[in-house]
Amino acid sequence: MTTTTDENWALELDSITIAFGANQVLKGVDLKLRPGSVTALLGANGAGKSTLIKVLSGVYSAQGGTVRVDGDEVEIESPSDASKHGIQTVHQRIDDSIVPGLTVAENLVFEEIARGEFPAVSSLRRLMPRARTIASTLDLDWDDSILKQDVFHLGIADCQLLLLARALVHRPKVLVLDEPTSTLSASEAERLFALVEQLRDAGVAILYVSHRLSEIRQLADTVVVLRDGKVVDEQAAPFDLGVAIGAMLGREALEEESALQVQRGEGTALSISGARILDDSALVDMDFRYGEVTAIIGLIGAGKTELAQAVFGANRLEAGTFTLDGKPFAPRHPSTAVDAGVFLVPEDRAHEAMFPGWSITRTLTVPFLSRFARLGVMAGGAERAASATAIEDFGVVATGPNQPVDALSGGNQQKVVVARWMAAGPRVLILDEPFRGVDIGARTELSLKARSQAADGACVVVMLSDVDELRQVADRVIVLVEGEVRLDAYADEIDDDQIITSMSEVA
């Protein structure tokens, strides 16, 4: 189907879908980029941004929907397809694209080397003219001595420029920049902005992914907000970024809010004092009480995971002391925390909580093997019984206790790794982004479980980045921005605007 649109779009995405197993990541994304304009793409963790970028760059192929470049429908099945159709991407992680140990020149012409356009054994001198050409597309005044250096000697900012030059030499129609400033200093970022503006004026359509609102205000002509695999907001300049952030964090669905009866807990369970959560952040103090669910909400990089892992003994903070029930608590290993009844459900289920091929029963009992063993010998019956109870209590949809956890849906996997700790009766339970990759039904059930655990007297702490999720589970809200506490209040004392405003305030 070739339709001609009334306007010339450099790139048109029409209902792009992609799913990994049962997990639908993109649910029909529509996106249009004008030539000579910068479109900012906003979205929280797990919204589908990186997946969308990987579809555009040919790392994944879309399972549904169409892509048109300059009005013509194209198939992007591989990175070279993307390049052929004029789409270039500079990925966020430069170490994925830079080859250490090679010279700057070799890195500049790396794609040609990889495609075999240079003979297998080739002297550096033969590469130099091409390397000079590529470097000159960006007016990088790198002389031959720099080009012959190991790329290791370039700073991060220059590596970023190198990759940009590599992308630009193909004269792309569409340029995707994935969080290009996340590792740059302010002056380096300014240099990049100047380049982006130059490219825009030259007619390139730029998709700019960033969390930094000031950059978006400065650079973007359009803002597109992705949430839960769909575009939920689209604005032309001048922007109302409050609305955009609201859409990104999800505040439309407010109906369920009324159901939550805010509880005020009594008695401090865990107390944190003088903690430096991030490298340069100020010292913070926090108290977590029994009988309530505290949500710590913050964007990526706010320090939520660092805090959670430190309390669990999985890593160390630069500064700070903890007390548990008023006594000093300094876990040097998760085993100490587990023995003290302080549990953590980590952020990354597959890499931090699951064992490939392991059954539900085995996954559930790993931290508490001694409870199911007599003199070190496993009592299979007790283990299976505990597993059956957990499956029943948490409504895990599975064929039985022996089913491998990997074979379950995301929501049911999460129920298993949460049940593991909840069933053991925690004093303090920390859940780091427990609703990621979890369907809405499982999210509701897990929220209820967290709330009933608190009602039974436990101290529950949930790390989140989504206001909807927060409203569903939290009695108390702590807003964390760049490792510092910006707001600490009970959920019924504040509205969403206050939370979102304090989250998006930049120091």
| Interface residues toward other proteins, by CB under 8 A | 19, 21-22, 312, 314, 333-335, 337-339, 344, 346, 351-358, 362, 366-367, 369-370, 372-373, 376-378, 404, 406-407, 409, 420
| CB nearer other proteins, residue 322 or residue 343 | 343
Distance CA 406, CA 123 (A): 49
Q: How far apart are CA 505 and CA 62, in angstroms?
A: 36
How many CB atoms lie under 10 A from the CB of residue 358? Answer: 14
Cα-based distances in Å from 373 to 12, 290, 356, 376: 60, 31, 23, 5
Q: Which is nearer to other proteins, 260 or 373 (CB)?
A: 373
Report the nearest approach of other proteins to the CB of residue 163 (Å). 29
Nearest to 90 by CA among 195, 186, 5, 17: 195
In the complex, the smallest distance separating the C-beta of residue 410 from other proteins, rounded to whole angstroms, is: 10
Euclidean distance between CA atoms 293 and 165, whole angstroms: 49
Nearer CB in complex with other proteins: 56/353: 353
Q: Which helix (H) or strand (E) holds 209?
A: strand 205-209
Q: Which residues pair with 150 in a beta bridge?
A: 103
Instruction: Find, among 102, 54, 22, 53, the residue nearest to 411 by Cα.
Output: 22
Does residue 19 sit in helix, strand or coil?
A: strand
Q: How far is the CB of 20 from other proteins (least distance, A)?
A: 9
Provide the minimum distance between the beta carbon of 433 and other proteins in the complex, in angstroms, as a whole number.
14
Nearer to other proteins, 184 or 382 (CB): 382
Of 145, 161, 157, whose CA–CA distance to 195 is shortest?
161
β-strand 459-464 against 428-432: which pairing, if any?
Answer: parallel
Question: How many residues can be counted in the chain?
Answer: 507
The β-bridge partners of 487 are 479
DSSP-derived secondary structure for 222-291? EEEEEETTEEEEEEESSP-HHHHHHHHHT-S--GGGGG-------SEEEEEEEEE-STTPPPEEEEEETT
- 246 vs 334 by CB, closer to other proteins: 334
Q: How far is the CB of 270 from other proteins (least distance, A)?
A: 17
DSSP string, 444-466: HHHHHHHHHHHHTT-EEEEEES-
- Quick check: 405 and 363 in contact, CB under 8 A? yes
Looking at beta carbons only, is 315 or 321 nearer to other proteins? 315
In the complex, what is the shortest distance from the CB of residue 69 to other proteins, in angstroms, rounded to a whole number?
27
Report the residue number, 286 or 344, with the smaller CB distance to other proteins. Answer: 344
Helix axes 124-137, 156-168, angle to 10 degrees: 90
The CB-of-402 to other proteins minimum distance in angstroms stands at 14
* Shortest reach from residue 21's CB to other proteins, in Å: 4
Residue 284 CB, shortest distance to other proteins, in Å, is: 24
Residue 20 or 117 having the CB closest to other proteins: 20
Token pair belonging to 69? 């470049």
